[in-house]
Structure 1
């Protein structure tokens, strides 16, 4: 586990229990999945990486543009899906016809990922391979959840925070 990855997870865990509030990014008061990542970014790098335009609460964007993915590519470091590490930012596509619009921070890398280098379900009930991630979603707020097979199937990209920003 890298020191940076451990720091990212530690910061993310400080947000657990924060209520879900669409487009918010305030630890303890409210955030959505992007707000969680924005808050961690501010703690690590100071300031916002860029102005965040308004976005819809549901999983569809009428324009069909991958805005979240594009923003992640501008500010984070993309890595292969098979190289799971603690502290990774994970991008999810919740429906096949929708844009990728959910984010989380990998908090635990399960034994199947460690052994094979790939996130693959192995049939353990509800918990998949032991991996976990921290994310915010409606009705639950910020939680640490098992990175179960249904979640794993929705992963479309994996990133890590840059060591420094320009």
Structure 2
């Protein structure tokens, strides 16, 4: 594993235990899944590439717009979901036929893959990337490593 990818996971792990707070992005104080990704970006890449508009918990479900997916494509490097690497960003669709609106960072691969995410009711946690989670993955991205 490269030092850059190790750095992504180390930074994400430094957020473990941060409470879940919708629209927040402050390590130790509160974050949601997007806020976790934003915090890792700030720590490793620098200034965020665009301002994040206010968003509701349903994201853009009523409109059926894949806003999070579109934003990820603007700033991350999309890759196949079948070859996960430590430090990859996963995008999840939490319910069938709804928009993708949950993010996580791969922390372990191999026999027992794991990921770090901010989950409502739990805060920032590291979980097994079990089959129920894996089935929800709709896209995979890399940080722009040349910037790290």
TM-score normalised over the length of structure 2: 0.95
Partner of residue 24, structure 1: 24
Unaligned runs of 5+ in 1: 112-129
CA 44–132 in structure 1, closer or farther in 2 if over 3 Å, else same: same
Matched length:
147
Partner of residue 36, structure 1: 36
Kindly indicate whether the alpha-carbon contact (under 8 Å) linking 1:84 and 1:109 is maintained by their aligned counterparts in 2: yes
What is the rounded CA distance, in whole Å, between the counterparts of 1:108 and 1:9 in structure 2? Answer: 9
Kindly indicate whether the alpha-carbon contact (under 8 Å) linking 1:45 and 1:164 is maintained by their aligned counterparts in 2: no
CA RMSD of aligned residues (A): 1.2
What is the rounded CA distance, in whole Å, between the counterparts of 1:159 and 1:59 in structure 2? Answer: 20
Kindly indicate whether the alpha-carbon contact (under 8 Å) linking 1:32 and 1:136 is maintained by their aligned counterparts in 2: yes
Which of the pair has more CA radius of gyration? Answer: 1
Residues 63-82 of structure 1: matches in 2 within 5 Å? 63-82=63-82
Give the SS at the match of 2:36.
helix
What is the rounded CA distance, in whole Å, between the counterparts of 2:113 and 2:98 in structure 1? Answer: 25
* Structure 1 residue 60: Cα displacement: 5.6
- Structure 1 moving runs of 4+ over 6 Å: none
What is the rounded CA distance, in whole Å, between the counterparts of 1:26 and 1:77 in structure 2? Answer: 25
Please state if 1:157 is matched with 2:139: yes
Residues 9-158 of structure 1: matches in 2 within 5 Å? 9-58=9-58, 61-111=61-111, 130-158=112-140
Unaligned runs of 5+ in 2: none
What is the rounded CA distance, in whole Å, between the counterparts of 1:55 and 1:137 in structure 2? Answer: 16
What is the rounded CA distance, in whole Å, between the counterparts of 1:157 and 1:4 in structure 2? Answer: 21
Kindly indicate whether the alpha-carbon contact (under 8 Å) linking 1:59 and 1:94 is maintained by their aligned counterparts in 2: no
